[in-house]
Structure 1
């Protein structure tokens, strides 16, 4: 995939992480200096953590021959090259399927949030603001996993 796409992923992850750290720090300051915590900080940080996790999974899938995620290397290390490539591709395909299902189910969740008019407890924002990015990020993880599967099968 293009290098600029990698940069977008990394920048988005850095932006979300910076926002989380800033919000958590502001919460600590207000709690100890003003004796009044920011009630909404927990709500925002937890949801941002979900987004950051999905972005991190996508980044990890693109790294190296088998991705940078924990895997049982001993199971494939001693296989002949063709079987090894097939096993690696299968792992990526299972990951793509799992996150494809997550994308679909989270899309249904967003639809329900819109239909029912659900709001968040602390800020009263519509829930789809929090759940909205999850289908797209999950689908992106699937795309990265499919790219890993194709790369594993193409390798000689």
Structure 2
């Protein structure tokens, strides 16, 4: 249980760190644009990629919250079902989510491999693209793990 709380705090801390960096960079961009009349054009490149990472972290956090995850789902189709069927439908939703993000992890891994193989660089900063694509397969796989953990938790509660 202590390990689970540690991982939860790590997720939340990482989300806060990414969000703080995005806000700071966006604010710096606004300041330089209006005070110095020279925007930080490359900030957009970093913020957009960080938004993808933050979205994946947020999905993982949402999947672990509450008894059945905190994400919006179509409960009208399941709330009138008998308990075993309702629980099965929720587990099915978690498993489908896990499958979707496992596929995303797999495909984004190949994108990362291509970026490394081809030496792709970003347009604004000229940084290696793997710096942007590297976290995506890891975070996508983590979302898949969180979804499977959610499915197991709902199934065990039955």
TM-score range, shorter chain: over 0.9
Match of 1:73 in 2: 75
Tell me the secondary structure at the aligned position of residue 120 of structure 1.
coil
Moved over 6 A (4+): none
CA contact (8 A) 1:58 1:144 kept: yes
Match of 1:38 in 2: 40
CA contact (8 A) 1:119 1:125 kept: yes
1:101-148 superposed Cα distances (whole Å, 9 cap, x missing partner)? 000000000000001110001110000000000000000000000001
Q: Which of 18, 22, 28 is the aligned partner of 1:26?
A: 28
Structure 1 residues 55-94: aligned runs within 5 Å? 55-94=57-96
Residue 74 of structure 1 and its aligned partner are, at CA, apart by 1.1
Q: Distance in 2 between matches of 1:73 and 1:13?
A: 28
1:64-99 superposed Cα distances (whole Å, 9 cap, x missing partner)? 122111101111111111111110000000000000
Gaps of 5+ in 2: none
TM-score by length of 1: 0.98
Match of 1:142 in 2: 144
Gaps of 5+ in 1: none
TM-score by length of 2: 0.97
Q: Distance in 2 between matches of 1:55 and 1:92?
A: 16
